[in-house]
């Protein structure tokens, strides 16, 4: 609904005609109309000749070093995920989960590439693991998002390559099959990838949009089982909670809904920081359940609610939807100092269940935007 022809990737007449000759006019025209025009397929030999870079993964809420506008042509971007089954505390009461993680964090690390780059993931499942794991990339094209090609037992590793053919932000998650798929996803085994257009983000008129900093907020629903006294049960090893979990999960009522792994992971001393005047990109992923981000005291200046950068962003939003199984992106330029809350605006989920973050913003107050005209006094 936000499609605007001015925002579609530029395809020169020459490249359009050569692509048309190579692939067939019908397909290319359809791709251009869908706003997802992409370079022609490469042979194995051509892919082997591409430049290769290694992207160092960093723990959320931070993103790996990246260029907003691609330098040069497509690359092969190598990333490495080591699976870690680890006990994590998820709230201030010390409640625990044996989390299933990529690289030890919930959510897993953000990958950032440009459209038509190739991601080459090495997935490692250490011998110390209890379970088999894999990965399904929503950004990829191919059976099970790579799930069948990456299913590995403890003590194994594998390598998957896929082309980032569509621009946007996309969820990835573990999907070992059957009830193990929701089990792994709701034990933290999910994350997101950002595929930027090669020439960067654009508004509805095709003008460049840039950001000064970016944060990755992974929203996670947990289903912790309780004992007869109503206390959350603590388990000794990963997957020991499996049958108890199934009963709680069947209620569709999470015990916790948190940002970045635990209640308070992004609040108080862990608050995100920004300065007035900075444009901040928030990438919000929810692999399992719908959400509705809202920045209390600010707005979404530019919002890609569905996560597709082939669509023009919506502007000036108060709250936006993230469908379960998707990521979305929003940019806001802070205009006032103070403490902002970035929440799932089902406020029960934010305040009682835990889906809230803080952004501490430095800067100079602007009385034009807001001022206290009269301090609270007795009614006269
Ligand atoms: Cu898994």
Bridge partners (DSSP) of residue 133 are 152
Q: Is 174 a catalytic residue?
A: yes
Q: Are 344 and 321 within 8 A, CB to CB?
A: no
Which residue out of 133, 187, 256, 358 is catalytically annotated? 133
Question: Are residue 23 and residue 55 in the same domain, yes or no?
Answer: no
Burial of 329 (0-12, 13-18, 19+ CB in 10 A): buried
Omega within 30 of 0 (cis) for the link into 61: yes
Question: Are residue 255 and residue 295 in the same domain, yes or no?
Answer: yes
Question: Are residue 132 and residue 185 in the same domain, yes or no?
Answer: yes
What's the helix, strand, coil split of the chain in %, to 5? 15, 35, 50
DSSP 8-state symbol, 44: H
CA distances from 162 to 62, 137, 305 (A): 24, 9, 24
- Residue 313: closest CA among 330, 295, 290, 333: 330
In this prediction, residue 37 carries a pLDDT of 62
Question: Are residue 73 and residue 187 in the same domain, yes or no?
Answer: yes
Q: Are 309 and 165 within 8 A, CB to CB?
A: no
Location of structure tokens 């609270």: 376
In this prediction, residue 10 carries a pLDDT of 39
Question: Are residue 36 and residue 138 in the same domain, yes or no?
Answer: no
Which residue out of 88, 180, 189, 194 is catalytically annotated? 189
**Distance from the alpha carbon of residue 184 to the mean position of ligand 1, in angstroms:** 5
In this prediction, residue 16 carries a pLDDT of 34
**Distance from the alpha carbon of residue 351 to the mean position of ligand 1, in angstroms:** 29
In this prediction, residue 36 carries a pLDDT of 55
Q: Is 207 part of a structural domain of the chain?
A: no
Question: Are residue 17 and residue 63 in the same domain, yes or no?
Answer: no
Q: Is 136 a catalytic residue?
A: yes
Question: Are residue 335 and residue 226 in the same domain, yes or no?
Answer: yes
Whole domain around residue 245: which residue ranges?
213-362
Question: Are residue 148 and residue 219 in the same domain, yes or no?
Answer: no
Which residue out of 57, 88, 110, 174 is catalytically annotated? 174
DSSP 8-state symbol, 182: H
**Distance from the alpha carbon of residue 277 to the mean position of ligand 1, in angstroms:** 40
Tokens of 16: 């359009």
In this prediction, residue 39 carries a pLDDT of 80
**Distance from the alpha carbon of residue 211 to the mean position of ligand 1, in angstroms:** 33
Q: Is 212 a catalytic residue?
A: no
In this prediction, residue 321 carries a pLDDT of 98
CATH number of the domain bearing residue 97: 2.60.40.420
Helix 13-23, helix 25-33: angle, nearest 10: 130
Question: Are residue 129 and residue 104 in the same domain, yes or no?
Answer: yes
- Residue 121: closest CA among 135, 106, 107: 135
In this prediction, residue 380 carries a pLDDT of 86
Which residue out of 8, 114, 138, 187 is catalytically annotated? 138
Domain count, the chain: 3
**Distance from the alpha carbon of residue 180 to the mean position of ligand 1, in angstroms:** 8
**Distance from the alpha carbon of residue 248 to the mean position of ligand 1, in angstroms:** 19
Q: Is 187 a catalytic residue?
A: no
Q: Are 285 and 339 within 8 A, CB to CB?
A: no
In this prediction, residue 33 carries a pLDDT of 44
Question: Are residue 81 and residue 165 in the same domain, yes or no?
Answer: yes
Q: Is 318 a catalytic residue?
A: yes
CA distances from 240 to 154, 231, 237 (A): 17, 17, 6
In this prediction, residue 24 carries a pLDDT of 37
Q: What is the pLDDT along the chain (380 residues), one digit of tens a residue?
A: 343 333 333 333 334 333 333 333 334 444 444 445 668 899 999 999 999 999 999 999 999 999 999 999 999 999 999 999 999 999 999 999 999 999 999 999 999 999 999 999 999 999 999 999 999 999 999 999 999 999 999 999 999 999 999 999 999 999 999 999 999 999 999 999 999 999 999 999 999 999 999 999 999 999 999 999 999 999 999 999 999 999 999 999 999 999 999 999 999 999 999 999 999 999 999 999 999 999 999 999 999 999 999 999 999 999 999 999 999 999 999 999 999 999 999 999 999 999 999 999 999 999 999 999 999 999 98
Q: What are the contacts of 348-353 at 24+ separation with CB within 8 A?
A: 349/257, 349/291, 353/254, 353/256, 353/257, 353/258
Tokens of 221: 């629903």
């Amino acid at each position: 609904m936000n499609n605007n022809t001015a925002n579609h990737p530029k395809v020169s007449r020459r490249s359009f005609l050569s692509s048309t000759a190579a692939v067939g006019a019908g397909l290319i025209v359809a791709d251009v109309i869908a706003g997802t025009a992409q370079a022609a397929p490469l042979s194995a030999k051509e892919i082997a000749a591409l430049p290769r870079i290694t992207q160092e993964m960093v723990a959320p809420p931070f993103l790996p070093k990246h260029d907003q506008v691609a330098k040069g042509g497509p690359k092969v971007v190598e990333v490495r995920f080591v699976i870690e089954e680890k006990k994590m505390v998820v709230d201030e009461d010390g409640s625990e989960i044996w989390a299933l993680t990529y690289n030890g964090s919930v959510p897993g690390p953000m990958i950032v590439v440009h459209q038509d780059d190739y991601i080459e993931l090495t997935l490692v499942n250490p011998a110390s693991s209890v379970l088999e794991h894999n990965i399904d990339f929503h950004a990829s094209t191919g059976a099970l998002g790579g799930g069948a090609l990456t299913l590995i037992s403890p003590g194994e590793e594998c390598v998957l390559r896929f082309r980032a053919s569509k621009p946007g932000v996309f969820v990835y998650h573990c999907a070992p099959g059957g009830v193990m798929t929701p089990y792994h996803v709701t034990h933290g085994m999910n994350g997101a990838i950002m595929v930027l257009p090669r020439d960067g983000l654009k508004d509805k008129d095709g003008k460049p949009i840039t950001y000064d900093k970016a944060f990755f907020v992974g929203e996670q629903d947990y289903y912790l089982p309780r004992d007869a006294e109503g206390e959350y049960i603590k388990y000794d090893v990963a997957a020991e909670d499996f049958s108890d979990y199934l009963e709680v999960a069947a209620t569709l009522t999470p015990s916790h809904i948190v940002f970045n792994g635990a209640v308070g992971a992004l609040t108080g001393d862990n608050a995100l920081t920004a300065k007035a005047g900075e444009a901040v990109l928030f990438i919000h992923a929810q692999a399992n359940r719908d959400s509705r981000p809202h920045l209390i005291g600010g707005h979404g200046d530019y919002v890609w609610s569905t996560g597709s950068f082939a669509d023009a962003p919506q502007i000036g939003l108060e709250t936006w939807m993230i469908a379960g199984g998707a990521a979305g992106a929003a940019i806001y330029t802070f205009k006032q100092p103070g403490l902002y809350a970035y929440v799932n605006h089902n406020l029960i989920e934010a305040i009682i269940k835990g889906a809230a973050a803080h952004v501490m913003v430095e800067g100079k107050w602007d009385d034009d935007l807001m001022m206290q005209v009269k301090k609270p006094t007795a009614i006269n």
